[in-house]
Amino acid sequence: MNKKKLVVIGGDAAGMSGASQVKRLKPEWEVVVLEKTDFISYAACGMPYYLEGLVPEKEQLIELTPEDAVSKRKIDLRLRHEVTKIFPEDNKVAIKTEQGEYEESFDFLLIATGSLPLIPRAGYQQSEQVFVLKNLSDMEKIDTFIKENSPGKCAVIGGGYIGLEMAEAFRGRGLETHLIHRRTDLSKTFEVEISNLIKEEMANNGVVLNLETTIEAITDEGEGVTVITDKGKLNYDFVFLGLGTVPASKLAGECGIELGIKGSIKVNEYLQTNYPNIYAAGDCAETMHLLSKEPVYTPLALKANKEGLLAGMNMAGLQKPFRGVLGTAITKCFSLGVARTGLTYGEAVKHNFNPVKIPLNSQSRAKYYPDSAKLFSLIIADKGTGLILGAQLAGPLDAVKRIDVYVTAIQHKMTLDDIFDLDLAYAPPFSPVYDPVLLAARVGRKFI
C-alpha cells in the first residue's frame, strides 16, 4: 500500500505550499494541516500596505480560504489546532484544541511554524499601545486602534524593512511618525550610501528620525506610551516594534529536532531535519547563502513558498534541492525603490574576497524621456577576478527590479566583463542606451 499520511504544522506560505504540492502529486495521500490560528495563507508582506490604506479590503490579502483548501485542494485542514509536542521516534504529534487534546500519527511531518516578532527580553512592557505585526490579527489591532483612538503621534522602533514600511504606512494615515533606531545607519543589509538615501527619503516625507538612540524601557503610564532612551524620555500615542523576527522553533527544539543558526531548524538541501521523514520549511528553517556557503536565517516570503513546494515534491519522492538564498530583498520607501542582493562589502571581506565598491549615478530612462530619474547603483565586485559579489540599487520604483539581473549574474558566477557583454534591452522609455547595469560594468572595470 503506497498511501502515506503527511501532517503539516502551520498553515501559512510554507505549510500550505507543501500540503498542496503533495496533494497534487499524490492525491491519494492523507494530508492534515494543523493551524493554531483562524488564518491560513495570508499575504503577510501586504499588511503594511493595507494599513497604509492602499489595499481596500483585508480579504484581498487572503491567498487561499480555508474553504478552498478543503474543497478544492482536498486538504484536511484543522484550524485552532495547536501542536504541543512532536514525537519524532514514534512518528506522532500531540495536539491541543478547545475541545481537548489528542494525538495524530504521520509518515511525513512538515514543520512550517514560521517566525515570531523579536521582542527584547527586558523593559518592554506589554501594553495595549505597543504593537507588532506578524499576522492578520495584529494588523486588525493596529487598524482598529488608529480608527478608534485617532492617535496623533507614533513611534516605529527599528530601521529594517518592516520599520521602513510601517513608518510609510503611518505617514499615509496622517500620523506624526518617529523612527527610532539604535545606530546611525539603517539595517546592516544596506551599504551606508543606500542607507543615507533612504534616510533622506524618509525625512523628505516627514518621518522624524531618532537615530543613535538606544531604548532602555517602554512603559505605559495611562496616557500613551513612554519610550525611555539613552537620550531621554519620548512620549507617543502608540509604538510599533519592528525589530525583526525569530524562528518559531521552540517546539521543534524541545522535541529533539536539531536547531541551527539563530535557533532556526537545521535542514539539508532537501529540507529534511535530522529525522529524514521530518521536514521543515519557511521562516522556521535555516538555509544556505549561495555565495558565502554558510547557513543563514532568512525569513522571507519567496524562500518560504519555494521551500514548502520543494519539501512537498521531496516527500512525494522527487529529488528537488533548495539551493539557498542570495539575500535578495526589495522595498518601497515612499517614492524611492531600494533593492539589494548578494554580499555587502563587509561580508565580502569577512568571506575572504578582496572586494571593491563601484558606485554609479545613472538615469533610469533616456535622459530626455519624461520622468527619467536618478538611479544609484553600488556594485560589490572582487578585485582581480571581477566577480560580482553583491549589488544594491536605490532609485525610482520602476527602476530597481533590475536587481534581478544581478541576482542572475551572481548566482551564475558572472564577472563585470560578462555583464558588459549582455545584450540588455534598450528603448528610451525603459533605460538609457547603456542600461545602468551595463554602465556599472563598464565603469567598474576601472576598479578591478
State the catalytic residues.
45
Among 407, 440, 441, 443, binds its own copies (CB under 8 A): 407
Q: Which of 102, 106, 209, 220 is nearest to 163 (CA)?
A: 209
User: Residues in contact with its own copies, total (CB under 8 A)?
Assistant: 68
Q: Which of residues 52-81 bind its own copies (CB under 8 A)?
A: 54-55, 60-61
| Separation of alpha carbons 418 and 398, rounded Å | 25
Give the interface segment with its own copies, choosing from 112-120, 185-193, 233-241, 295-303 (CB under 8 A).
295-303
Q: Which of residues 359-378 bind its own copies (CB under 8 A)?
A: 366-370
Site string for its own copies, 1-40 (x = CB under 8 A): ------------x---------------------------
Q: Is the CB of 42 or the CB of 279 nearer to its own copies?
A: 42
DSSP 320: -
3-class secondary structure, 403: helix
Residue 176 grid cell: 506624526
Indicate the burial class of 427 (C-beta count within 10 angstroms; 0-12, 13-18, 19 or more): exposed
- Asked if 435 touches its own copies (CB under 8 A), the answer is yes
Q: Is the CB of 253 or the CB of 428 nearer to its own copies?
A: 428
- Asked if 447 touches its own copies (CB under 8 A), the answer is no
| Separation of alpha carbons 298 and 318, rounded Å | 25
- Asked if 437 touches its own copies (CB under 8 A), the answer is yes
Q: Is the CB of 26 or the CB of 81 nearer to its own copies?
A: 26
- Asked if 89 touches its own copies (CB under 8 A), the answer is no
Residue 157 grid cell: 522602533
- Asked if 288 touches its own copies (CB under 8 A), the answer is no
Round to the nearest angstrom and report the end-to-end CA distance of the chain: 61
Residue 301 grid cell: 516570503
* Minimum distance of its own copies from residue 59's CB (angstroms): 9
Distances (CA, A) of 338 to 3, 180, 207, 347: 48, 20, 17, 19
Q: Which of 240, 237, 223, 242 is nearest to 153 (CA)?
A: 237
**Are the C-beta atoms of 228 and 361 separated by less than 8 Å?**
no
Residue 308 grid cell: 514548502
Residues at the contact surface with its own copies, assessed by CB under 8 A: 13, 43, 45-46, 49, 54-55, 60-61, 290, 300-303, 305-306, 309, 323-332, 337, 339, 341, 366-370, 397-398, 400-405, 407-409, 411-412, 414, 418, 420-431, 433-435, 437-438, 442
